[in-house]
């Protein structure tokens, strides 16, 4: 009987720890970070308010920046795409400072992808 109670306590404790350590998804709308502000002002119009992507009426797919198989995997690839645009995306090299471009790369990797 004692073993059953101990086992039950370990199982309950394990679920409690798992529930507490599960990472909460970053919410752009709730964030006061500078990067989230840049995203809301410049990127959300196409990528969606929470970077979930969408398909336009003409069939153009605007990618989900949070989930899926990412076309741009390295920091340099992400940087190049934000700075130079392409595949329907406008370039931001002349709108963002170098520091802002680097901040947005970190934002995509850290906050949106959780990497």
pLDDT in tens, the chain (115 residues): 666 565 556 566 555 555 555 668 999 999 999 999 999 999 999 999 999 999 999 999 999 999 988 999 999 999 999 999 998 999 999 999 999 999 999 999 999 999 8
Q: Is residue 42 part of a domain?
A: yes
Angle at 32 between CA 66 and CA 87, to 5 degrees: 35
User: pTM here?
Assistant: 0.78
Q: Is residue 11 part of a domain?
A: no
| 33 contacts: CB under 8 Å, gap ≥ 6 | 107, 111
At residue 107, φ and ψ (nearest 5 deg) are -60, -45
Angle at 34 between CA 85 and CA 90, to 5 degrees: 15
Q: Is residue 18 part of a domain?
A: no
Q: Is residue 14 part of a domain?
A: no
State the total domains in the chain.
Answer: 1
Domain enclosing residue 46, as ranges: 26-112
Helices (H), 53-112: 75-84, 98-106
């Amino acid at each position: 009987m004692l073993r059953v109670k101990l086992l039950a306590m370990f199982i309950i404790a394990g679920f409690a720890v798992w529930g507490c350590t599960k990472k909460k998804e970053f919410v752009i709308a709730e964030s006061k970070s500078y990067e989230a502000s840049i995203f809301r002002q410049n990127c959300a119009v196409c990528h969606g308010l929470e970077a979930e992507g969408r398909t336009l009426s003409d069939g153009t797919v605007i990618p989900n920046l949070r989930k899926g198989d990412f076309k741009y995997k390295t920091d340099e690839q992400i940087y190049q795409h934000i700075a130079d645009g392409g595949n329907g995306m406008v370039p931001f090299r002349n709108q963002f400072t170098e520091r802002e471009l680097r901040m947005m790369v970190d934002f995509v990797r850290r906050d949106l992808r959780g990497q």
